[in-house]
Structure 1
């Protein structure tokens, strides 16, 4: 195998999905050199947009939706890059098919099934393309698979395999820092480490599922969205043992005037192998049962089975049951003396598994790698900055009950039936904490960190002052959420959620407490790092 000239960078990013590309963009803006390597020949990771040649429609075969009200990072990035979005088509009834021998039931879904979801016009791949276009030429290397990551002390060495079968070559990439912007289980399955990772970190990687990794998505395109004229939204839920598509939705690209029905295949990865030859006919048959004979007149099927994607789905994901990711906090901490970071959507606190989570992870790592900079001139005094922080917290907390209802509606729209209150509350507090930390970053120069007082037992003097803004909030939010549940018609069919028992309340309280501890540690860590940077600026000798 041939060996070519090594690459050198400040930061090596492994994975050219949303996290990797957004991180590279941020690092270049900070003046750091970043090289992005990607095992696939294309960019985007799980973001994959195909085009239907017959209708001209952009078809998102991976993530398609984002929720602007609860996912602010992606909404802001789209605006910054000048990319338009549009609401997911929801008007009309939703169909429920619970018996393969009966007609589907029409149900009205107040507010729509997808609870305020939006789609990127032209497909989600437009975001990938826009991010890649901001990077310097030669900084992204597709077709480069990381095989070995070695700690050389002063630098990290990445051993890359490039090229196709019969023409492969080995290339080295040397960097001061490395970021693995990959699903955690793929890191374990595909990359060797020297020295080996600690056992606890290996366990954390293995325990974090890859969102949608073993799922398959099918989109059928038509010359027009004929179901809309019949009063259908395009949303359908099929809940019987012979279901081929468990969930159906309107995937039409309205800019073309054509129509498309998307759906998630109900069969598991192993079952899909056995049904592969007959799957097109079975999908068509189910759409005909839902929407009539027009569903078989000019339909063209497009299927993406993510379980067949070796750079998405690990063996553990393929063999296990689909689970929402909830990463161990260890995946959000630096390793190898601050030189190795784990990114990707699964490592996020807020929006894990979504495009929002990928962007949150990128922001976390970009902040950790940011070079020391002088404070902005004319920064506000400490008292003013502290008042603004408290006002920010108060505003975020006041919005939290609304965000809880939005997260709950989103879970219900995805037909989730377990741990609804627990997961919606956790998503709410993580959103508030994430947005608070973003606000804190902007206020750090004005907090007077060098005058804040001594550090005691690893805790910055300002930490308890800032955390006091949240006094009593967790309990108040839990009370307001349970009060809402008690009067919610949507939860009336979920007795455990409508009136949670003591055991469930205890589990929720423990989850919220764990999220609070991680937030408090992160806030303290940012204060400590900012104070260290302030000290470094004061003692630096001018050139």
Structure 2
């Protein structure tokens, strides 16, 4: 990590040493009230690696840790190689100066996300409901904010247009095969256009396209120009489970939707507790540089040493897979797919206040604006509301505008955006923190790798196809809830089943 990955300012800003401590396994566990002995922590960060194991897992995010846990439970020897000095991947806690925890990465869980909710229960990670009481706020063209309830702002024409689009999207998503979207009868037509193009062709009002950015930018880190419409429909179809059809509402809503709940100790508590279970089977600071296969085994070369394994599970963001030296090289069609799966551009900005002042005004903390740095925001306060926290997602073209400004300029713009929606009190936080996922060298963006137009129909059927002794995990390889923690868990479980059947 670089010093710029997590930036905190304000009168109560913690020191750089505190920040670094908060990113280690032991530091976050300590902040979360879970003890881990010094020897156990040291075993994950230094020392020699085993010469051989049954399975090497590349990537210590949620998906890789879940796969490793399943393999260990089945009696197989396993080693997780993680490039960072922490576990969790795109799931990352940040401890505020007063001791409360917010999420710098993936945070929300909701109905039909059965696998992450079940896993959380197994490891004792409690959830709480996202605060949604009161009115939502909407500002158009920099004008005075208007309050509303539900998910669509109070513009009657926009409401009708948006409702028609949502109904159509839901119908098309329901017709998209969740495990093989490339087999849809009109797949090539849908895969040939971007979401932005489709919205321009099928919406009546420009204002509706602006509203859709409040979904697209935090969801994909994109305005939709580089997102295949077929990929988008498949993504919506995945906002469900085996017994519930995915819908746009479930993907976008707070209450009873994808943003329904958060973890009391922050979402990273789940991978931290998985890592604590696995102990020295998790090796940190171990970037994988080369993976070689022969007829008998796989050789994995990392910065911490070389390990032989019968099988390998790769569970890291798609761009990172291309950065590994493969022998033999990856199949050409898989290379072509990965080259067409860029990460989005996204950062999360949190302003911390002595109390959640917007609640006393009857506001939920959820807001939408179609101008400025803050296009969509949430109440990100901890469960006990010991402080008030407003969260802004800055993604897509908004990241292009504000992500390259100085910290002082961006902080000012974000706080002004909050003030536009919730009042002048927002201009004076006691702390401000942000995390730019484009600056994470082992992720290079967020929150998910999208598939550009043409990728699914040409190469998409390779997404989960094993490469000899190598199997694929990571949230992008899931069918349901790809891009979410639930998708990461599902992918880890599937990859572990594949491997266990062959060992």
Under TM normalisation by the shorter chain, which class is it?
0.5 to 0.7
SS of equivalent to 2:386: coil
Counterpart of 1:104 (choices 140, 145, 160) is 145
Give 1:290 shift.
Answer: 1.6
Alignment of 1:50-449 (within 5 A): 50-54=94-98, 56-67=99-110, 69-100=111-142, 102-109=143-150, 113-116=253-256, 117-135=260-278, 137-162=279-304, 171-188=305-322, 190-210=323-343, 213-240=344-371, 243-266=372-395, 267-269=398-400, 271-313=402-444, 328-336=460-468, 339-370=469-500
Alignment of 1:442-461 (within 5 A): none
CA distance in 2, matches of 1:287, 1:329: 43
Q: TM-score, normalised by structure 2?
A: 0.65
CA deviation vs aligned residue, 1:324-359 (integer Å, no higher than 9, x gap): x979231212221xx101110011111101001101
Kept in 2, the 8 Å contact 1:89–1:250? The answer is yes
SS of equivalent to 2:403: helix
CA deviation vs aligned residue, 1:127-183 (integer Å, no higher than 9, x gap): 111111221x32111101111111132111111124xxxxxxxx1111111111011
- Structure showing greater relative contact order (alpha-carbon pairs closer than 8 Å, 6 or more residues apart): 2
Q: What residue in structure 1 maps to residue 222 of structure 2?
A: none
Structure 2: where are the runs of 5+ without partners? 1-46, 152-248
CA distance in 2, matches of 1:261, 1:113: 17
Give 1:73 shift.
Answer: 0.6
SS of equivalent to 1:278: helix
Kept in 2, the 8 Å contact 1:269–1:307? The answer is no
- Kindly tell me the number of residue pairs found equivalent between the two proteins: 349
Kept in 2, the 8 Å contact 1:90–1:113? The answer is no
CA deviation vs aligned residue, 1:99-132 (integer Å, no higher than 9, x gap): 22x2111112279951421111110011111111
Kept in 2, the 8 Å contact 1:185–1:314? The answer is no
Give 1:218 shift.
Answer: 0.5
Kept in 2, the 8 Å contact 1:225–1:260? The answer is yes
CA deviation vs aligned residue, 1:502-543 (integer Å, no higher than 9, x gap): xxxxxxxxxxxxxxxxxxxxxxxxxxxxxxxxxxxxxxxxxx
Give 1:363 shift.
Answer: 1.0
Structure 1: where are the runs of 5+ without partners? 163-170, 374-543
CA distance in 2, matches of 1:80, 1:6: 29
CA distance in 2, matches of 1:202, 1:73: 29
Kept in 1, the 8 Å contact 2:341–2:451? The answer is no
Q: TM-score, normalised by structure 1?
A: 0.60
Taking only aligned residues, the RMSD between alpha carbons, in angstroms, comes to 2.7
Q: Closer, same or farther in 2 for the Cα pair 1:30/1:321, shift >3 Å?
A: closer
Give 1:277 shift.
Answer: 3.9
Give 1:269 shift.
Answer: 4.3
